[in-house]
Amino acid sequence: MRIFIGTAEIAGYYARLDAGFRAHGVTPSLVQFTEHPFAYEVADDRGPLHAFVGWTARQRFRAAQRSRLQELVWRTAQLPLRVVVLVWSLIRCDGYIFVYGTSIAGRWELPLLRLFGRPVVHVFHGSDSRPAYLDGFLVQGGDDPRRLRRLTRRTARRLRWIERWSTTIMAHPPSAQLHRRPFVAGLHVGIPITSAAPVGRQRDHPSVRPIRLLHSPSNPELKGTATIREIISDLQRTGMPLELVEIHGRPNAEVRAAILECDLVVDQMYSDQPLAGFATEAAAEGVGIVTSGYAAGDPGALIQHELPVLYVQPQAMAEAIAGLAQDEAARVELGRRSRVFVESHWQPGQVAERFLLMLRGEAPPEWLVDPADITYPLGCGLPESRVARLIHGLVERYGPSALGVDDKPELLARLLAVASTVTESVRTVSESPPDSTNKIGA
């Protein structure tokens, strides 16, 4: 059996899934049309077509470092190659796994794959399906209401097409507000991971040195790095012996090595995922993880798993870090439980086996989530006050329908309630009496 996987990489997920399929005797064809900046390792026994696609991917990535025009030239040059890859895959592959809204030929091939009877599993990771006004990554490009409405509509149209033609959808409930078709919750399948240090970490006792905290943001603004620095600085000023180590924009091998040298991982400030890619790598090494996000404890986020990670509301992040820093036994135990969990449930072969169930149409019913039940309103990568302003701006200019969730009345009500906090704050300011100390002659 041969499975096509493409055409993007997300935090090493698909390189490790590739290895998991091989452990089951399944031949994966991992195809990426641009190289990943963090250099995740994949098997190199792929034949001339894969080698040539890989060469063009490297050229496109390097061109993108120089200019958008050069990157566009390479992207255009790959178009005939995409046709070749599509024909080759129809001849050789028995099933398809598409990633992050990508495909081989702009998603127009999806009806053709159904016509040929090929199962298609489409995996969403967050920004590829989240409404733009709830997505910190998309908001980085500008928060004009017109732009956010356009991006939200575009995402919804893409979802409708993919939902229509894919056999199975996999997504994370807190980022699936625009979905309409029931999907497999990603945490049921897991994140494939292996340890880089099977014998365990060898670190000297923290009583003779500061407690080393590691933060490795792929996108510092999105991960709340500035706020995390402030929290650590405040704790240091109280006399707590903490050392914050940041690693950013480096190959994955360097990040994995840094994990082995730390005592605690501080992942993100505004995450809607308790155990994302970097945190999973820390769990594999037995390092405790603390992360925060508004989805923590929110029933409307439909996070149906108790994971061995300290996942708290953003306002509780400082207390969570301080608690684990001061309690070595709790910190070590959290790391031990996290490693036991991923070794027991998220080994690449185990995750690959669950993908095979989805490809065969045999995913257990309890894995499925009805998007109509999602009511989580605060997104990812943004503080609540910013989300409120974004929603308020959209609704004020275009009305509630601009939020794209008219099919989910409970979610719509919660979004409008978030937006109303902006109106309330403005009313409070306008109704406050003037400060008498500012009067002339007072």
Q: Which domains does the chain have, with CATH numbers?
A: 2-192+352-366 (3.40.50), 206-344 (3.40.50.2000)
Q: What is the pLDDT of residue 427?
A: 47
Neighbouring-strand partners of residue 31: 6
Mean pLDDT of 283-287: 95
* Contacts for 103-110: CB closer than 8 Å, 24+ residues apart: 103/6, 103/7, 104/6, 104/7, 104/31, 107/158, 107/161, 107/162, 110/161, 110/162, 110/165, 110/166
Q: Is the pLDDT of residue 343 over 70?
A: yes
Residue whose token pair is 């400030």: 269
**What is the average per-residue pLDDT within 385-397?**
97
pTM of the model: 0.89
Take residue 441 and report the two structure tokens written for it: 């002659």
Q: Rounded distance, CA 371 to CA 177, Å?
A: 7
Confidence of residue 50 (pLDDT cuts 50, 70, 90): confident
If you write DSSP's letter for every residue of 266-286 in order, what string do you get? E--SS-S-SS-HHHHHHHHTT
Q: What is the pLDDT of residues 412-430, one digit of tens each?
A: 999 999 999 986 554 444 4
